[in-house]
Structure 1
Amino acid sequence: MTSPPTESLPAWMYTDPAFFARERETVFRTAWQVVCHLNDIPEAGDYQAFDFLGERVLTVRGDDGEVRSFHNVCRHRASRLADGTHGNCGRRIVCPYHAWSYRLDGRLANVPPWQGFEGLDPAEHGLKALEQEVYLGFVFVRFAAGLPSVAEMMAPYTEELAPHCPADLVPQGRVTLRPRPVNWKNVGDNYSDSLHIPVAHPGLTRLFGSSYGIEARPWVDKMWGDIVETPSSNWVERGYQALLPQFGHLEGRAQRRWNYYKLWPNIAFDVYPDQIDFMQWIPVSPTQTMIREIAYVRPDARREAKAARYLNWRINRQVNAEDTVLIARVQEGMASSGYETGPLAPSEVCLKSFAEKLTAMTGGARAAE
């Protein structure tokens, strides 16, 4: 690889349709995408579905208890099979267009006899499977081989992540979709940017003091902050500091630390003592992104645990509101003739790492031509 850049990615990469098309093929075809947690689909026939750059993903629990992922497309006329983001399809996945049906393991089960397909080989017309990997209970898929496995990419942090991901994690609510009028890279850049924390996030600064840190590994960025003991002047933050209980599955500093992990290129895990969230910024167009997110918790009936999770949500709702404004301001500036690129500080190791990988994968200067 070339030496890390000392300047940010050029502005045109955040607005150009041709470069967006290039990213689609060189970055996202081989990138792992998180679909759900195993406990989002506990029963046979339960499914999770989402769309990604023209692809349709269907992850379903089979009669045998196995979880499998398929293209959410009928093999007859390409109709979408399962609607919405989640549900239960019963014993069969039935196409709403011509009633072709599939077993939960993807095999073609039945074609209506009156349609004249007597010579059709069912073995050749089952659902198209996607490559799937389960990492610490989370289900990932990808559309083409190329990158290392999720386990290999996340290896530097698996040991510290594992206690936060016990087998009994359950979803807290449902997946939320939030459209943003920005390029997907602006969402990711902001996530790994440490310099804006003391400027634009007063709440996090009160919670973390001077403890906020960042580091970049080959495929994962990590950010973290420790909850300080000095009571915050804000009642929500002060309540979280006071009510956050001890959790038996965590040890030492993990009881009071917020960790953030960004997996290349567009997935983040926000890991708190009281819960774990994933956030995914799904590219829609050069200037449109859909943020997809959900939280998971361990079953815990303690009132202080429930209160801490509510206060966590309040704190992060404010942080998200602040970030929404920030990334919109940046996206608007990317279209200005007064900005081409900007310098990166020595401490901006995550932004340097991201720019290096993206430039290498897309061809950089060649892409500009």
Structure 2
Amino acid sequence: MTRWNNGLDEVERVSPDITDETNALPAWYFTDPEVHELEKEAVFGRYWVYAGHANCIPETGDYFTRTIGDRELIVLRDHDGEIRAFYNVCAHRGSAIVEDTPMTDPGNARRIQCPYHLWTYDLDGDLASTPRSFEEARLNPDLDDEDVPELDAEDNSLMAVHTDRIGPFVFVNLDDDPMPLAEQAGELTDELEALPLEEYRLARRIVSEVECNWKVFAGNYSECDHCQANHQDWVKDLELLESELEVDDYHWTLHYKHKEDVDDEMRIHDEHEAQFHYFWPNFAVNMYGTADGYGTYLVDPIDEGRFQLVADYYFRESELSEEETQFVRTSRQLQEEDFELVERQQRGLNTGAIAQAQLGPNEHTVHRLHRLAQEAYDAYADETAEDRSHEGEASEA
């Protein structure tokens, strides 16, 4: 049952059963700035989040930056060829070290040096050197040089962030003790690693700012009940009745068959189908089945009413063929059609008229998305309450 803000209906938590009346998140979770702040910790500070593509930093010292919530990260390839991530924060006095460096134009450095006081770090994050002024006390009349302690390289290292990969896709986790990426990804790992994704290079990037909450767009992406009415140019070439939907704990995959055969040489995967993978919380991979390539999509929140969609397209060559150009064109058309839909939904939510929506029986992926958000909020609330309890016990002692 849809619940309205008319003083009569009360909202409830998302039910685990999609057939229950309260099968959607309360509407205020899509409009409240406090929820946006909560999600920086409860969602993006706890789960594995896509950072970027390994092929964009192929050489030792290559790096790009990535901001998750309010946290700026440096993602780099070290001397052993491994990809690491660190907070973009100097261990000296907390200065940001490098400027914003997109994955499309990565930087390269033998070492990472903070421009403020020239503290310099190896690619493993350890402190490599400091200026002489940190070794001598010549300007401090109360200290002799021999009283200046030596700075330990490891104790004064950059703050590392957990990293892991699925094929060429690099993920980071800001939690101190995260679940393994393999646990969060489930069968998605095998599905993606069965494809030769690492053979492809970034060829195009399109960045869009959209006027809606990121969960609204994620919900739109997760179902295709709206496709027949709103993506008519696309669905005319698909057998929607032959579609399949696979749902795992933290990801879901939609498969759609093409009506006409597609040359196998133009395929990244077997069978003539489109594959849409969504990985909680905000990452997607698309294979439209009409070109030798794929797209990745990052749904990055800006605030409670806006997100940024970063759409990257990967092909074997940077010079696109006719089929590859059509791939990007089709993807962009679908995005623009969806932008109109989700911004319309956000406008309705912003009126405050609806208190809690009602999902349909085939929107079980949307229900799963809402449940994951609810579970994240609840887990963070429980953890925060436990921390406060321990603080209270410690103060009484």
Shorter-chain TM-score range: 0.7 to 0.9
Partner of residue 361 from structure 1, selected from 376, 391, 395: 376
Whether the aligned pair in 1 keeps the contact of 2:166 and 2:192 (CA below 8 Å) is no
- In the alignment, structure 1 segments of 5+ residues that lack a partner are 230-240
Partner of residue 209 from structure 2, selected from 173, 179, 186: 179
Distance in 2 separating the partners of 1:298 and 1:334 = 42
Q: Look up the equivalent residue of 2:16 and give its one-letter code.
A: S
Whether the aligned pair in 2 keeps the contact of 1:283 and 1:290 (CA below 8 Å) is yes
Partner of residue 49 from structure 1, selected from 62, 65, 71: 65
CA drift at 1:205: 1.0
Give the match for residue 246 of structure 1: 265
Alignment of 1:107-146 (within 5 A): 107-116=126-135, 119=149, 120-145=151-176
CA drift at 1:58: 0.9
Q: Any runs of at least 4 consecutive aligned residues in structure 1 with deviations exceeding 6 A, and if so which?
A: none
Give the match for residue 85 of structure 1: 102
Give the match for residue 205 of structure 1: 235
Alignment of 1:225-244 (within 5 A): 225-229=256-260
Whether the aligned pair in 1 keeps the contact of 2:268 and 2:293 (CA below 8 Å) is no
Q: Look up the equivalent residue of 1:207 and give its one-letter code.
A: D
Distance in 1 separating the partners of 2:362 and 2:177 = 30
Q: Does 1:284 align with 2:315?
A: no
Give the match for residue 10 of structure 2: none
Give the match for residue 62 of structure 1: 78
Q: Does 1:105 align with 2:124?
A: yes
Distance in 2 separating the partners of 1:31 and 1:166 = 23
The alignment partner of 1:209 has SS state of strand
Q: Look up the equivalent residue of 2:354 and give its one-letter code.
A: Y
Whether the aligned pair in 2 keeps the contact of 1:268 and 1:279 (CA below 8 Å) is yes
Distance in 2 separating the partners of 1:220 and 1:115 = 50
TM-score, normalized by length of structure 2?
0.80
Give the match for residue 220 of structure 2: 190
- In the alignment, structure 2 segments of 5+ residues that lack a partner are 1-13, 137-147, 383-397
Distance in 2 separating the partners of 1:226 and 1:248 = 13
Structure 1 pair 357–9 and aligned structure 2 pair: CA distance change class (3 A): same
The two structures, once aligned, show a CA RMSD in angstroms of 2.5
Residues 39-90 of structure 1: CA distance to partner in whole angstroms, max 9, x if unpaired?
Answer: 1111111112111111111111112222211111111122222222142232
CA drift at 1:34: 1.2
> Number of paired residues?
347
Alignment of 1:247-286 (within 5 A): 247=266, 250-251=269-270, 253=271, 256-273=272-289, 274-286=292-304
The alignment partner of 1:164 has SS state of coil
Give the stretch that moved more between structures: 95-104 or 308-317.
95-104
Whether the aligned pair in 1 keeps the contact of 2:63 and 2:74 (CA below 8 Å) is yes
Identity over the aligned pairs, expressed in percent?
A: 26
The alignment partner of 1:30 has SS state of coil
Give the stretch that moved more between structures: 59-68 or 128-137.
59-68
TM-score, normalized by length of structure 1?
0.86
Distance in 2 separating the partners of 1:249 and 1:325 = 30
Q: Look up the equivalent residue of 1:132 and give its one-letter code.
A: T
Give the match for residue 167 of structure 1: 198
